[in-house]
Structure 1
Amino acid sequence: MPVAGKTFGIVGALAAFPRRLIAREVERQGGHLRRGVTRQTAYVVFGRGLLAKATDADIEARFEREAGSGRRLLSENGFLRLLGLATASGTSALPRQSLMDQAKIAPRLFDLLSLFDAFEHDNEPYSFRDVILARKYAGLISSGAGWGAIARSVHRSSHVASLTALSLHHEGSKTIYARRAEGLSELDGQLLLDLGAIEEAELEELFALAEEAEEAGDYDQAAAIYQRYLSIDRSDSVAAFNRANCLRAAGRELDAAHDYARALKLDPSFAEAWFNLAGLMSERGRIDTARRHLQKAIDVDCDYADAIFNLAKLEFDAGNLLEARRWWARYLELDKESEWARTAERGVQFVNLHRLPHAPRA
């Protein structure tokens, strides 16, 4: 599957490889790697660091949302294999359905475990060892273990395939153990972090703190944390975009415009940044600039309904009725049901009415 021209978003910290090195490889192959998910994101990578930060329910909700959006979901190992940085070991020949039939594991649980590399392969064809692992996991789940407990525990082993030779058990629902000759013990071995991974962990922590402050409405604090983050990683367009949103919410419009521009310099295809910068320019009365930015957002994403609607309204307010009608008509091709669609319909009707020749007065 080609990487060139594709945008990859990462949810959660990567455990298997430093993010900076991955980003460099993606760019070398002509793709784009972004933290989080934007409109241009085609593939979402679920980093195993998410297991330490989020509950099972939160991860399941994110899984459903991203899968429902039509984006391709990748595990860390799947991402590395797509980039040609890793290969799957062992002989694989089994289709997904055959594995699930043999293991008697629920498809949704199987997909969640696959997303966090609990199997030797991240997609079909699968190996016989994957069937054995699926059977073991299905047994743990049927006895009360959660999929998250399995996903969090299996990577304590040096390689998940080695678990096929162990008898797996759980106590409560949080930790998986192996039964050995000397009794129950935790699954041995942990991934070793190099210096790059330590810095990556700090970045993840900063980004999470900034998001928490932003969600709590503490915009100045969030902007300060995003700035600290950007002082370490100057290449993150999403962090620059988020900081711009915080600055705008805090009333610091000039600083916000600077960071929207920074996000766009890093990623000219960032449609949301063009859109938000257009809104800021419109509020400041810079209508021509706002028009250009909205047009740029639409050039990047031709189905960006919000940008199309706002451009129609901008043209209407400027007295450009035919242009307003054209953009409202385009909006109605994308949305026929919402209240915004009702507004667009009324706009089209208004232009039609006022463009008709009036009969002379008697």
Structure 2
Amino acid sequence: MAVAGEIFGIIGALAAFPLRLAAREVERQHGHLRRGVTRQSSYVVFGRGLLAKASEAEIEARYDAETDRNRRALSENGFLRLLGLAASPATSALTRQSVIDQSQLPPRVFDLLSLFDAFEHASEPYSFRDLILARKYAGLIASGASWSAIARSVHRSGHVASLTALSLHHGGTDTIYARRPEGLSELDGQLLFDLGTTDDAELDDLFAQAEAAEEAGDYDEAAAFYQRYLGIDRTDSVAAFNRANCLRAAGRDMEAAHDYARAIKLDPSFLEAWFNLAGLMSECGRVDAARRHLKKAIELDGDYADAIFNLAKLEFDIGNLGEARRWWIRYLELDKNSEWARAAERGVQFADIHLLPRTAD
């Protein structure tokens, strides 16, 4: 199964399918779905709700950041088809490059429009209808429309394939219109799949408000929003983790520890939760607990450089130079050039000097 063992991150609210149903199906297929993206995420689903919450520049930056980390970006339709919850339209043999060459649509614009399901297909092979759409979009771009305005507008008509029969027009606004005999009209129409619920919308809104408060540094308010969210969905490990981070930033360490533990209970493979809980335990002087949590994070990901460095420093601070040296050497296998690497090198040198008299016989 393509989904088994994979971890999916969600950015933005889903428009075509409720998140809870998608999560249930991913778990049924032995994968994992999280709201937000973590170190272990191998796929990132870009929900169309992101178009209403983030600017074009913010979306592009996030897309670049995730693909630079070798994560596969999925559109909503691409995600549903991967899960087997939606059938692919009839395909043709058109490659991505062929559609770009024949339509003259800029490659980056083409990829971003694919990411938000502005074509019949979310990836190769593309259909002849997709080529027609690409040519229409290229005309809109040439007239001054932005890719995000196109992506926001096209789903108002229902299935995007219906746009192939329309003459699309951009009049200098952030909306795309259809030119009809009676004049210009918006692309409004009942969506084919209106499966969302009030609870889903409320959850999305609460999570967005929590993230905004957290970004603004209003950590108590953000924690309150995350708590309201968790009161509706008690299974979201990312919300528990985010709340723990806010509580920690607000100086509410005991509550933060509780929510880190809650995130771990919900998802025992949540690396960042193990790591941040270890940092909190270390700050509170609970060295044994911090060591256990760091080792758990490293057990889950043997290349987790930050956890390895922190474990080396923890051992160094309490005088376990041999263990500190072992972990710093491991860190230097992963990082040879940063400021942290230079600190690790100094740590190894210090340990060598002080351990030498004990081993020289």
TM-score surpassing 0.5? yes
- 2:168 is matched with which residue? 168
Contiguous gaps of at least 5 residues in structure 2:
none
- TM-superposed CA distance for 1:190, in Å, is 3.8
Corresponding residue for 1:349? Answer: 349
The CA deviation at 1:194 is 5.5
Q: Are 1:77 and 1:122, in contact at CA under 8 Å, matched by a contact in 2? A: yes
What are the equivalent positions in structure 2 for 1:60-75 lying under 5 Å apart? 60-75=60-75
Residues 194 and 143 (structure 1 numbering): CA distance in 2 closer, same or farther, change over 3 Å?
A: closer
Which residue number in structure 1 is paired with residue 32 of structure 2? 32
* Residues 269, 300 of structure 2: 8 Å contact kept: yes
Partners of 1:119 and 1:133 within 8 A in 2 = yes
Equivalent residues in 2 for 1:148-187 (5 A)?
148-187=148-187
- 2:104 corresponds to which residue? 104
Deviation at residue 188 of structure 1 after TM alignment: 2.9
| Contact kept in structure 2, 1:144 and 1:173, CA below 8 Å | no
Partner residue, 1:263: 263
Counterpart contact for 1:278–1:291, Cα < 8 Å = yes
Instruction: Report if the CA contact (8 A) 2:329-2:348 is conserved.
Output: yes
Secondary structure at 1:91's aligned position in 2?
A: coil
The 1:262–1:209 alpha-carbon spacing in structure 2 relative to 1, beyond 3 Å, is same
The match for 2:216 is: 216
Cα separation, 2, equivalents of 1:173 and 1:252: 47
Q: Report if the CA contact (8 A) 1:17-1:197 is conserved.
A: no
Partner Cα separation in structure 2 for residue 20 and residue 180 of structure 1: 40
Residues 1:114 and 2:114 are matched in the alignment: yes
- CA–CA separation in structure 2 for the residues paired with 1:182 and 1:204: 39
Q: Partners in 2 of 1:211 and 1:66 — Cα distance?
A: 19
Aligned residues: 360
Distance, in Å, in 2 between the alignment partners of 1:110 and 1:2 is 26
Give the AA of the match of 2:56.
Answer: D
Q: 1:146·1:173 contact (CA, 8 Å) conserved in 2?
A: no
2:128 corresponds to which residue? Answer: 128
Residue 193 of structure 1, CA deviation: 7.7
Contact 2:18–2:195, Cα closer than 8 Å, also in 1: no
SS in 1 for 2:357: coil
* 1:215-247 Cα shifts (integer Å, max 9, x gaps): 222211111110000001111101000101111
How big is the shift at 1:192? 7.0
Deviations 1:147-205 (A, max 9, x none): 01100000001110010111110111411111112111001314378674322111111
The 8 Å contact of residues 75 and 115 in structure 2, kept in 1 or not, is answered as yes
1:234 aligns with 2:234: yes
CA distance in 2, matches of 1:194, 1:123: 24
Instruction: Decide whether aligned partners of structure 1 residues 192 and 131 sit closer, same or farther in structure 2, where only a CA change above 3 A counts.
Output: closer
Q: Which amino acid aligns with 1:166?
A: L
Q: Secondary structure at the match of 1:225?
A: helix
The percentage of counterpart residues that share the same residue type is 78
Q: State the secondary structure of the residue aligned to 2:156.
A: coil
Shift of residue 90, structure 1, vs aligned partner: 2.3
**1:150 is aligned with what amino acid?**
I
1:91 Cα deviation from its structure 2 partner: 2.9
1:290 aligned partner: 290
Amino acid at match of 1:321: L
